[in-house]
Amino acid sequence: MADTRKLFIKTYGCQMNVYDSERMAEALGASGYALTDRADDADMILLNTCHIREKAAEKVYSELGRLKPLKAANPDLKIGVAGCVAQAEGEEIMRRQPLVDLVVGPQTYHRLPAMEEAVRKGARAVDTDFPEEDKFEHLPEPPRAMRGPTAFLTVQEGCDKFCAFCVVPYTRGAEVSRPVARILTEARDLVARGVREITLLGQNVNAYHGAGDGGSWTLARLIRELARIDGLERIRFTTSHPNDMDDDLIAAHGDEPKLMPYLHLPVQSGSDRILKAMNRKHTAESYLRLIERLRNARPDLLLSGDFIVGFPGETDQDFEDTMTLVRQVGYGQAYSFKYSARPGTPAAERPCVPDDVSSERLHRLQALLTDQQRAAQVAMVGRDVNVLFEKQGRTAGQMTGKSDYLHAVHVTDPSVERGQIRRVRIIESNTNSLAGVLV
């Protein structure tokens, strides 16, 4: 293509959307688009959206409103909506927002180049299929450019669990695992391009069961195989479901040195009554036993989680059970959300907890989780950790990276370079990061 067009992508939601945005940029790269970080400079704007809570979904419409003047100034500008809101509300977006040219769901973005061509000719295009073909097999080869030291790699998509509150099974579709060989090829390619840490992604990543030599492989087996790649130093995975934590994956936390000692394992609630109403199919007790087994395998494992407060029917006692579970586990870090009723999910039909009650609970839970995060950070002071340096920090000469435990660590030392893993002594804990010196 003679002249390069410019593509601006804004990404909302989870890491899977971050990965998808990279792949969409590559797909449109093959049609002559180069990324820009300025919306007002773009020939195409893509919003890669999230539908998980009402607030997340609403952001799309307000962002589209903000893009109106850009479209007025440049009638050739094309605007697309991708991701989970696109999947859930595709036709409605087209109706509500005439300035949208293109809507593409998470499973059809391999068709973006063709859609882009149609849109350039003046069409409006919507594609929210769940296609037969594997989109990853139909994406153009990525450019051979070097990458930063860390990367995401989607190995599994979709979810069959149908938690009563969650839109993901509807927006992402059924659970699908990518074949082992494709993942290994992609991982080796990332490493050849400078990546030293890969985070394996999936909505239920530990339910992975991709086709490999001799039948279907578990996530643990995949991790053990990835660990043999020279130059790949660190492996992480997210998000896991407690019911899919098998023995080998637990063991891998103890015996696979490249698997990092950090695990995001959402439990949502500490009340068995609420867990049942949520269709989680585990109890608080079974979760606690699982944590115990994980910590037996890897005593310094740093745990993270997700919590929902104010789920329909949640009483004061149910909420206190959640607080108790949090105290029993001791999280290094965690996310907590006020329940948001999502159209089409079973829980949306049920009577709501009053908003002021939910707000007060959220406030208390967040205070406890913040205390635990602080305590975990303070406990790092005086310890030596490995840090993979990713980028320059805010102050002159400062470099920042992540410890094995996923803590952000800053070091000011002229010998530190991006992409290095260095031994660092932690000297100070700040609000959301640690400061250290080279050992």
Both tokens of 19, joined, read 């990965």
What angle separates helix 284-297 from helix 247-255, to the nearest 10 degrees? 30
- Chain centroid to Cα 127, Å, comes to 23
Q: Which stretch binds ligand SF4 (CB under 6 A): 145-153, 160-168, 292-300, 374-382?
A: 160-168
Rounded CA gap, 69 and 66, in Å? 7
Q: Which stretch binds ligand SF4 (CB under 6 A): 92-100, 166-174, 192-200, 376-384?
A: 166-174
Q: Which stretch binds ligand SF4 (CB under 6 A): 106-114, 130-138, 159-167, 319-327?
A: 159-167
Site string for ligand F3S, 199-228 (x = CB under 6 A): ----x-------------------------
* Beta pairing partners, 408: 402
Of residues 2 through 61, those in contact with ligand SAH by CB under 6 A are 52-53
Site string for ligand SAH, 220-259 (x = CB under 6 A): -------------------x-x------------------
Dihedral (C-alpha) 291, 292, 296, 300: value to the nearest 10 degrees?
50
Q: Is 241 in the site for ligand F3S (CB under 6 A)?
A: no
Of residues 89 through 148, those in contact with ligand SAH by CB under 6 A are none
Q: Is 268 in the site for ligand SAH (CB under 6 A)?
A: yes
User: CB under 8 Å to 229, separation ≥6 — which residues?
Assistant: 184, 187, 188, 191
Q: Is 16 in the site for ligand F3S (CB under 6 A)?
A: yes
The CB-of-128 to ligand SF4 minimum distance in angstroms stands at 18
Sign, Cα dihedral of 129, 130, 136, 138: negative
The CB-of-166 to ligand F3S minimum distance in angstroms stands at 9
Find the angle CA(35)-CA(40)-CA(44) to the nearest 5 degrees. Answer: 50
Q: Is 166 in the site for ligand SAH (CB under 6 A)?
A: yes
With contacts defined by CB under 6 A, how many residues of the chain interact with ligand SF4?
10
Question: In 193-283, which residue ranges form alpha helices assigned H by DSSP?
Answer: 219-226, 247-255, 272-277
What is the 8-class DSSP label of residue 259? Answer: B
Q: Nearer to ligand F3S by C-beta: 135 or 407?
A: 135
Site string for ligand F3S, 33-62 (x = CB under 6 A): -----------------xxx----------
Of 317, 206, 205, nearest to 269 by C-alpha is 317
Rounded CA gap, 196 and 88, in Å? 36
> Which residue in the block uniquely carries the two structure tokens 């890897």?
298
Of residues 188 through 247, those in contact with ligand SF4 by CB under 6 A are 203-204, 241
Of 221, 322, 311, 331, nearest to 269 by C-alpha is 322
* Residue ranges that bind ligand F3S, judged by CB under 6 A: 13-14, 16-17, 50-52, 83-84, 167-168, 171-172, 203
Q: Which residues sit at the interface with ligand SAH, rule CB under 6 A?
A: 52-53, 165-166, 168, 203-204, 239, 241, 266, 268, 306, 308, 337, 339-340, 342
In the complex, the residues that contact ligand SF4 under the rule CB under 6 A are 159, 161-163, 166, 168-169, 203-204, 241
